[in-house]
Structure 1
Amino acid sequence: MRVLLVTNMYPSPRRPHFGTFVHDEVEALRGLGVEMDVLFADGQRHTLNYVAGMAAVLGRSLGRQRYDLVHAHYVLSGVLARCQLRWPLVLTLHGSEVAVGWTPPLSRALARLADWVIVTSPRVLDDLHMNLPHVAVIPCGIDLDLFTPGEQAAARAALGLPAERQLVVFVGEPRPEKQVHLLEGAVARLQSAGQPVDLLIASGQPHERVPLFMQAADVLGLTSSYEGSPMVIKEAMACNLPIVATDVGDVAGVIRDTAGCYLAAPTVESVADKLASALAFGGRTDGRSRIRHLSGAAAAQQVLAVYHEVLR
């Protein structure tokens, strides 16, 4: 099987952390014997890259290249991928594009034009507000070999972090929808009560360094207003790191009743209260044993099953 993957999120030397979950899915599918050609349209670098991406897709469809299908990640990449009709289209919608900003109508229109739609959580499917004949819920899988529990003191020493302070870590880009101000306000509230806690922002880090931050921290904080299936929650679970998060995407289903993990309302007071509970928990969780079914290998098997269904 040969697949053309079209995406506007993919790691590059300039941004090695950008779209690592798409890269990991590609590598896992290659491991299953699928030939994957990646077309990366870096629209964040320049919007004209979308025009170049569309020309590249059209050029391949009019040329001698042979693919069994095209798989697009995110709605704008789907537009590029659907500008050809030679091959079937599988479209993965990750989350915010179906519910936030100007892209929800475009997401619904493109979902009707796709041969199969993959969504990353049941909530993303609900937010599409569509009855699709061919749809699968497949969260992006995590690298269980990379994200592992580790010795906290060693991780802090490697990162140059103080050994005596409690650390709440935020991992990701502090975009507005991430609502990092809630974490900042909650940590400041705990500090004013005399708790020796700091907020650590881990942004723009190479993917292979992210586990160090999770091993070094006492709690992961995620206070987003919207997510599809946030990777950091699954990664923190794989590192046995306690979690405080708002009830977005599939977070509640992933953490379930894991001791040391808490859902918070999107207020400074609630986040501070849950952070205090997570810090008082004082240890590691059993999260890793609870999310083995969310590995990258398992997700790739499900995506491959969709490919076979499309080709049938």
Structure 2
Amino acid sequence: MRVLVVTNMYPQPDRPAFGVFVRDQVDSLRRLGVEADVLFVDGRRNKLNYPLAYPRLWRALAAQRYDLIHAHYIFSGLVALGQRRCPVVLTHHGPEVFMTWEAALCRLFTRFFDQVIVVSEEMRRRLGFPRAHVIPCGVDLERFRPMPPQEARRALGLPPQRRLVLWAGEHFRPEKRWDLVQAAMKVLQRRRPDVDLVLVSGQPHDRVPLYMNACDVLLLVSDAEGSPMVVKEAMACNLPVVSTPVGDVPEVIAGTEGCFLCSQEPSDIAAKLEMALDFGRRTDGRRRVGHLSLARIARRVLAVYAAALEARRPRQRTEEAQA
């Protein structure tokens, strides 16, 4: 099977962690025998890259025959719909399906795709599209694995005796609520002056496991998420997690000792961080996310590809007969 992946998120030299979960999925599909090419549409750099992507798509289809197109995010999906030859699978990754003006686009155009994937049950419910497949992005369990915390601290030059709260991601995005992180840390540090905040943003993805093993707890306080990779990666490293109940986080951390859901009140965030710090050891999170390995998720995505191709065949036979 040959697949063209159209995506507006993919690691770049100046943004090594940008869309790394898409790249990991592409690589895992290749390991299953899928021949996958990537058409990267850099909409973050310039919104004009979206309309300019249509002739790029047509040239790609003229140069190579593809069985299927897999688009990631709605704008890439709209580009992929600019042809009729190949079935299109769309993955919605985040809360754009129910937040901001993009939600209207998602609701309007999702029905036109051959198959649709969302990364959490909340997204399927709020999108109002019950036939969507719920398939979160997989975790690289080889890259994200437990290691001795002091060894990780030495590698990063972090203080050996301090308690460390990790926040990882793009803190400049408003929905990530960096303001709440700072406010909660002020509350916590008044009670626990031995606690420091560690911000990891824009780092090569290969360094993130070091931070997850060096720190004592991961914090996430977003307004909304799809299936946040940072939580699943923390679980794979057995790192305690404190998070707002966004996306699939409640399901991912459910029943895991040392992991806590919090509200967006700084006092509650601080209290849950203190509980995680007092837990005082690593979790058994890795065991609980084993079903989210890259290989298992790739097999589920491959099944969606097969469904898209099978559904398209009767239509193609009809069109050929009419021709």
The answer to whether residue 137 in structure 2 is matched with residue 150 in structure 1 is: no
The separation in 1 between residues aligned to 2:63 and 2:143, in whole angstroms, is 39
Matched, 1:225 2:243: no
Q: Secondary structure at the match of 2:239?
A: coil
One-letter amino acid of the counterpart of residue 306, structure 1:
V
With 195-204 and 230-239 compared, the bigger mean Cα shift is at: 195-204
Other-structure match for 1:129: 128
Residue of structure 1 equivalent to 2:184: 186
Farther-moved stretch of structure 1 (221-230 vs 91-100): 91-100
Which amino acid letter does the alignment assign opposite residue 20 of structure 1?
A: V
AA in 1 matched with 2:155: A
**CA shift digits 1:127-185 (9 cap, x unpaired):** 102344xx211000010000001111111111111111100000100111011222211
In the alignment, the residues of structure 2 paired with residue 241 and residue 201 of structure 1 have an alpha-carbon distance, to the nearest angstrom, of 16
CA distance in 1, matches of 2:257, 2:166: 18
After TM superposition, give the deviation of residue 224 of structure 1 in Å.
0.4
- Give 2:195's aligned residue: 197
SS in structure 2 of the partner of residue 305 of structure 1: helix
2:164 to 164, 167, 171: 167
CA distance in 1, matches of 2:270, 2:284: 23
| C-alpha deviation, 1:295, in angstroms | 0.6
Which residue of 1 is the match for residue 295 of structure 2? 297
Partners of 1:118 and 1:273 in 2: CA distance: 36
Measure the CA separation in 2 of the matches of 1:56 and 1:180: 37
Displacement of 1:187 in angstroms is 1.5
Instruction: Provide, for residues 280-305 of structure 1, a one-character-per-residue CA deviation record: whole Å limited to 9, x for no partner.
Output: 00110000011100011111000001
Tell me the equivalent position of 1:245: 243
Separation of aligned partners in 2, 1:271 and 1:83: 46
Bigger Cα displacement from structure 2, 194-203 vs 222-231: 194-203
CA distance in 1: counterparts of 2:189 and 2:284, whole angstroms? 28
2:103 matched to 1:104? yes
* Pairwise CA distance, 1:64: 4.7
Equivalent pairs, count = 309
- Confirm or deny: 8 A CA contact 2:124 2:130 kept in the other structure: no
Q: How much has 1:110 moved relative to structure 2?
A: 2.0
Identical positions, percent: 54
What residue is the counterpart of 2:87 in the other structure?
Answer: 88
Q: Structure 1 CA distance, aligned partners of 2:153 and 2:68?
A: 46
The aligned amino acid for 1:308 is: A
Q: d(CA) in 1 for partners of 2:272 and 2:88?
A: 43
> CA 1:287–1:194 in structure 2 vs 1: closer, same or farther (change >3 Å)?
closer
Q: Structure 1: which 5+ runs fail to align?
A: none
Q: CA deviation at 1:103?
A: 0.5
Q: Which residue of 2 aligns with 1:56?
A: 56
Deviation at 1:194, TM superposition (A): 3.9
* 1:31 paired residue number: 31
- State the Cα deviation string for residues 51-84 of structure 1 (Å, max 9, x = none): 22121112334x2521111000001100111111
TM-score for both structures, normalised by structure 2: 0.94
Partners of 1:260 and 1:64 in 2: how far apart?
53
CA distance in 2, matches of 1:48, 1:13: 21
Matched, 1:119 2:124: no
Helix, strand or coil: the match of 1:199?
strand
For structure 2, list consecutive stretches of 5 or more residues without a partner in the other structure. Answer: 311-323
**Could you give the per-residue CA deviations for residues 181-211 of structure 1, whole angstroms, max 9, x where no partner exists?**
2221112112112431011110001010000
SS of residue paired to 1:283? coil
Superimposed CA distance per residue, residues 87-115 of structure 1 (whole angstroms, 9 cap, x where no aligned partner): 10100001221011110111122211100
Under a length normalisation based on structure 1, what TM-score does the superposition of the two structures give?
Answer: 0.97
- 2:5 aligned partner: 5
Deviation readout 1:245-283 (Å, 9 max, x if unpaired): 000000000000100000001110110110010000011
SS at match of 1:220: strand
Measured on the aligned residues, the alpha-carbon RMSD in Å equals 1.0
